[in-house]
Amino acid sequence: MENREGGQRVASISSSYPGPSHSVAMMTSSISSDEDMLDITTTGTTQEQTSFDQESRSVASPAGLGEITAEDIPGIGQYDDFQTIDWQRDLARDRMHHRYITKHKEESILSALKAAHDAWSGWVCVLLVGVVVGAVASFIDIGTTWMTDLKYGICPDAFWFDREQCCWSSNQTSFSDNCSQWLTWPQLFGASDDSAGGYILAYLFYVLWAVSFGALAAILVRMFAPYASGGGIPEIKTILSGFIIRGFLGKWTLLIKSIGIMLAVAAGLSLGKEGPMVHIAICLGNIFSYLFPKYGRNEAKKREILSAAAAAGVSVAFGAPIGGVLFSLEEVSYYFPMKTLWRSFFCALIAAFIVRTINPYGNEHSVLFYVEYNKPWIFYELIPFTALGILGGLIGTLFIRANVWWSRYRKGSRLGQYPVLEVLAITLINGIVAYPNPYTRMSSTRLIYLLFSQCGVANTDDLCDYNRNITDASSAVEFSETGPGVYRALWMLVLALIFKCVITVFTIGIKVPAGLYIPSLCMGAIMGRIVGIGMEQLAYHDPHSWIFHGECSAGGEDCITPGLYAMVGAAAVLGGITRMTVALVVIMFELTGGVRYIVPLMAAVMASKWVGDAFGKDGIYDAHIVLNGYPFLDNKEEFGHTTLAADVMQPKANKPLTVLTQDTTTLEGVEMLLKETDHNGFPVVVSRESQFLVGFVLRRDLSLAVANSKRTMEGLREDSLVLFTPNIPSPWHGSLPLKLRRILDLAPITVTDHTPMETVIDMFRKLGLRQVLVTHNGRLLGIITKKDVLRHMKQMDSEDPDAANTN
């Protein structure tokens, strides 16, 4: 088929069909580089469009016959809810807009200002996003701390102060000390904290406040923003891959997510605010993008801003701007050009600067769990570090399977119909069981900080009950034997680990904002601290063993740091659950300031991923994407089967394909087609007999064009022809025709029926396609949509073919 008839892009095969081998070579070479392919494919589109612009200006319509243009119809180029965007069309539109601005920028001062605005709008947008994300994150941190402390007591002189702020005047800011300004609930009612009545009263207030916070969070989500529940990362990955979920990034979701996460964390539930912070940041990115039409009206360009916002979310959540950029690149972004990398870095930098300026953590550091120790680790410690990675991979695999099983049960049972009651039940059980154990009673962030810390003269917790004689806070930590308090703490930590593992399975997925990072870090830190204490005592009792390479001696400086093991264990479990690697290591050393410990972290994270991948290829986010049936085509997943495009295309052989003809379809026929089918688009052919391809028209664009023409054009009748041809025959006889060539995609991506599905899937991944048309010798045979690809991949993997609910 010739270019003037079909206008296919470079990926299409010419009418002289060369055979499968040549076809594969052409397709493979054309998709070898994403950026090159984008330039190649859109060049054809732009040239076609330019020629038609010139044509429409130079050729007058006979007898007053007008042509409907895309600019005349509001809503053209936009997408309906739960649809996949057309990356190629949106990027081509942006290039056309940029070329127009550049061409005319020297005509006037106004044109020059427009060109400057177009060039800088992306940077200004990410600057605003970074500033507001930093401010919102600081507000959430401060509010969460205040509400969390409210479960334990109140500051009578200033109830809006949390415990640390209340105790500033007495210079007692340690959570293990008391100060006169802060009153616990038993003290407020005249009881002693150590008495039985005081314990019961504190227990009661703890549970009541927890249930109240949890219920309020669930009610707000249920009534105002159902999309505000959960962490939002699976949906964010799906949206950044090109899927539309209206309302998920809206203003109400932003507001309720911000308030709900403070309430949910303060309720003491086994969840964190770090995952939801990414969702909140992307909501802000979506809202600010509408201030700049270049991004607000172009879904593909908007995703560049959303990727930068995701980096800012991790930056403020962990105080890790570089880790945020890597997280956006490795974990959530689908399309990440170099320009987006720079903007993500800038956005994360601005957000981190704002958080550091506001200083919600109340210290000189902008990170959550800054560690004070920097003692070098021993080479042979890589063995227990790797063992922690293996344990982290096993825990992660078990957690993913248990959580997915429970989430599937929730969706298919009556339990899913009562989300508020489920939240109340889990919050009540969590509060009742957590309070007796001091390590589950305290917030997860305080527990992680305690487990990461090194025992010194200021530590009075049972974990630091060693037989030491420390009088100088600046002196080195003495290498000594554990006391009875450490053994009590170890039993408490074992119980806390079991409780955290079980309760988190049921908590992640309830209808409140809930992040997974802090519970994962908490479980891993408990496991790592237990292993670290064991290694420490092994070194104490046998310091001359070959394992310690003579670096440990009785009575000398401590050569094993249990806090380092907690840090490594935390990274191992989080890596086992999320399957992150590079971003996780960078986040961990930014989170703690422990740059010296990169190699132990890398060893544990790599071992964790290998073990996890051996039992299941999907991390928790990918597992929930599959569970919810989101149309996500993973770039990291390989397809090794030998099927062809003809095996997957719709309709199957000997079945008719729904098409439009370029000059013989009536307006009544178009309306009937729209009414009787639910396809998202229709191929346009020369005639039903020849089936030579002309182009492809989207259902939404066709529907809007028909409705607009019936409203604005007089003389249209049901027998009026709908024309997709460049010219109208002159003189024209008959009813007023409707010319819709300008909404027609004259360069649809096409493949032949003998193209391997491996190549087709690569095209869908690298080009972000919605569909490809299948031809043979230039004649249209069928169509392959993203849904068909996902269904086929699941069929080949012997999974449920109906799990992909895309349009």
pLDDT of the residue at 233: 93
Contact 767, 88 (CB under 8 A): yes
| 3 state SS of 739 | strand
Least reliable range by pLDDT among 193-202, 412-421, 493-502, 790-799: 790-799
Question: How confident is residue 19, by pLDDT bands cut at 50, 70 and 90?
Answer: very low
pLDDT (average), residues 108-137: 91
pLDDT of the residue at 561: 85
Residue 67, pLDDT > 70, answer: no
pLDDT of the residue at 16: 34
- Residue 312 to residue 306: CA distance in whole angstroms: 10
Residue 558, pLDDT > 60, answer: yes
Number of other residues whose CB lies within 10 A of the CB of residue 26: 20
Edge-first strand listing for the sheet containing 681-685 = 660-661, 681-685, 693-698
- Residue 717 to residue 738: CA distance in whole angstroms: 10
- Residue 316 to residue 136: CA distance in whole angstroms: 9
Smallest CA-to-CA distance from 240 within 282, 284, 274 is with: 282
Higher pLDDT, 141 or 47: 141
Residue 27, pLDDT > 50, answer: no
Edge-first strand listing for the sheet containing 721-723 = 665-666, 721-723, 738-739
DSSP string, 63-92: GG--B--GGGSTTTT---TT-B--HHHHHH
Cα torsion 654, 658, 663, 665: sign: positive
Question: How confident is residue 337, by pLDDT bands cut at 50, 70 and 90?
Answer: confident
- Residues above pLDDT 90, as percent of the chain: 44
pLDDT of the residue at 12: 36
End-to-end CA distance of the chain: 29
Smallest CA-to-CA distance from 532 within 494, 567, 576, 557 is with: 567
Residue 589, pLDDT > 80, answer: yes
- Residue 271 to residue 508: CA distance in whole angstroms: 7
CB neighbour class for 529 (10 Å; exposed up to 12, middle 13-18, buried from 19): buried
Tokens for 37, please give them.
């392919």
Using alpha carbons only, give the angle 640, 646, 647 rounded to the nearest 5 degrees.
55
Q: How far is CA 529 from the centre of its chain?
A: 30
Question: How confident is residue 540, by pLDDT bands cut at 50, 70 and 90?
Answer: confident
pLDDT of the residue at 171: 54
pLDDT of the residue at 747: 87
- Residue 274 to residue 518: CA distance in whole angstroms: 7
Q: What's the per-residue H, E or C state across 349-397?
A: HHHHHHHHHHCCCCCCCCCCCCCCCCCCCCHHHHHHHHHHHHHHHHHHH
- Residue 535 to residue 514: CA distance in whole angstroms: 34
pLDDT digits (tens, 9 = 90+) for 241-277: 989 999 999 999 999 999 999 999 999 999 998 889 9
The amino acid at 622:
D
pLDDT of the residue at 343: 94
Question: How confident is residue 177, by pLDDT bands cut at 50, 70 and 90?
Answer: low
Mean pLDDT of the chain: 82
Tokens for 453, please give them.
């810390």
φ/ψ (deg, to 5) at 776: -145, 120
Question: How confident is residue 485, by pLDDT bands cut at 50, 70 and 90?
Answer: confident
pLDDT of the residue at 468: 65
Contacts of 65 (CB under 8 A, 6+ apart): 728, 732, 736, 737, 739
pLDDT digits (tens, 9 = 90+) for 693-726: 999 999 988 998 888 888 888 878 888 888 888 8
Beta bridge partners of 681: 698
Contacts of 476 (CB under 8 A, 6+ apart): 557, 558
- Residues above pLDDT 70, as percent of the chain: 83
Contact 497, 392 (CB under 8 A): no
pLDDT of the residue at 22: 34
Contacts of 586 (CB under 8 A, 6+ apart): 320, 322, 323, 326
pLDDT (average), residues 349-365: 81
pLDDT of the residue at 62: 37
Contact 681, 743 (CB under 8 A): no
Residue 349 CA: distances (Å) to CA of 127, 280, 356? 9, 17, 10
Packed helices 87-104 and 109-150: angle between N→C axes, nearest 10 degrees: 130
User: For the chain, how are helix, strand and coil distributed in percent, rounded to 5?
Assistant: 60, 5, 35
Number of other residues whose CB lies within 10 A of the CB of residue 178: 15
Contacts of 136 (CB under 8 A, 6+ apart): 258, 280, 284
Contact 775, 12 (CB under 8 A): yes
Contact 330, 583 (CB under 8 A): yes
pLDDT digits (tens, 9 = 90+) for 449-459: 899 988 876 67
Beta bridge partners of 482: 466
pLDDT of the residue at 5: 38
Tokens for 408, please give them.
């599937």
pLDDT (average), residues 313-340: 90
DSSP string, 492-529: HHHHHHHHHHHHHHHHTTSSSB-BSHHHHHHHHHHHHH
- Residue 133 to residue 249: CA distance in whole angstroms: 14
pLDDT digits (tens, 9 = 90+) for 668-682: 899 999 998 888 889
pLDDT (average), residues 338-356: 93
Could you tell me the pTM of the whole model? Answer: 0.84
Q: For the chain, give the number of residues.
A: 807
The amino acid at 396:
G
Most confident of 121-135, 530-544, 591-605: 121-135
- Residue 439 to residue 530: CA distance in whole angstroms: 13
Higher pLDDT, 663 or 420: 420
Taking only Cα atoms into account, the Rg of the chain, rounded to an integer number of angstroms, comes to 31
Question: How confident is residue 690, by pLDDT bands cut at 50, 70 and 90?
Answer: confident
Residue 468 CA: distances (Å) to CA of 95, 241, 480, 551? 69, 56, 6, 20
Number of H helices, E strands in the chain: 30, 11
